[in-house]
Amino acid sequence: MCPSSPSGRPGFRFPACVSGSAEAVGGGRMVLIKEFRVVLPISVEEYQVGQLFSVAEASKDNTGGGEGIEVLKNEPYERDGEKGQYTHKIYYLQSKVPGFVKMLAPEGSLVVHEKAWNAYPYCRTSKPNEYMKDDFFIKIETWHKPDLGDQENVHCLDAETWKDVEVVNIDIADRSQVSEDDYKPNEDPATFRSEKTGRGPLNQDWKVGAFRLHVCCLHSGDFHLSR
Output 100 or 214, whichever has higher pLDDT. Answer: 100
Q: Is the pLDDT of residue 215 over 90?
A: no
Q: How far apart are CA 36 and CA 17, in angstroms?
A: 5
Q: What phi and psi, each to the nearest 5 degrees, are found at residue 71? A: -95, 115
pLDDT per residue over 77-128, tens digit each?
999 899 999 999 998 888 777 888 888 888 888 898 999 999 998 888 888 8
Query: Amino acid identity, residue 81?
Result: G
Q: How far apart are CA 131 and CA 106, in angstroms?
A: 9
Q: Mean pLDDT throughout 190-214?
A: 82
| Total-model pTM | 0.77
